[in-house]
Amino acid sequence: MDHYLDIRVLPDPEFGQVELLNALYAKLHRVLPSLTQGRVGVSFPGHKRTLGECLRLHGSLADLLNLTEVNWLQGMRDYIHIGEPAPVPQGTSFRVVRRVQAKSARNKRLRSVAKGWLTEEEALVRIPDTQQKVMALPYAEMHSLSTGSRMRLYIEHGPLLDKPVAGGFNAYGLSAMATIPWF
């Protein structure tokens, strides 16, 4: 993981930055597993309350060049600026960028009933909607290809580390343990 590539969404009067970044990330998600087999990670260097305007890809020069040569950005090229793959600066820190999932109160009720732990009435009383955790993390919103419903992918940028941790990345370019360079 010695190179990176920044893809920035450009300001647009018709589409918001969040909407464009969501579309860009969804397109990346569709090609990432087949093109890189878990070797490319992602980060969002401008993240705060939202993920920001920049999607940064981390990987080998060969994997990043492969991603730039395949036409997965069809329909997005007018809305983005793709940088050139560049070496990771010396002396950088590292961090884990991972997905965080909060179990919904509805899913907890369904599981409790399905396992036979509670009846439907008991589950409604003992697991109210107010028990739902509110996530304060930035997220990408996408359409699930399997269910067709909208889903939120909450993303946490972990604490800075001095040393990298090797490992694979999922179809979203995220990992619970593997680090990406942070600069």
Residue ranges of domains in the chain: 3-100+146-182
Per-residue pLDDT, 101: 85
User: Of 3, 29, 58, 157, which is the active-site residue?
Assistant: 29
Instruction: Give whole-number Cα distances, 30 to 4, 58, 76, 142, 181, in Å.
Output: 20, 17, 14, 11, 23
Q: Could you state, in chain order, the average pLDDT of each consecutive group of 10 residues for the chain (183 residues)? A: 95 92 94 92 94 96 92 91 96 96 80 90 84 80 80 94 96 96 95
Cα atoms in the Cβ-side hemisphere of radius 13 Å centred on 24: 28
Taking domain 3-100+146-182, whether its CATH number is 3.30.70.2540 is answered by yes
pTM, to two decimals? 0.83
Beta bridge partners, 97, equal 157
Is 29 tagged catalytic?
Answer: yes
Per-residue pLDDT, 150: 86
Per-residue pLDDT, 95: 97
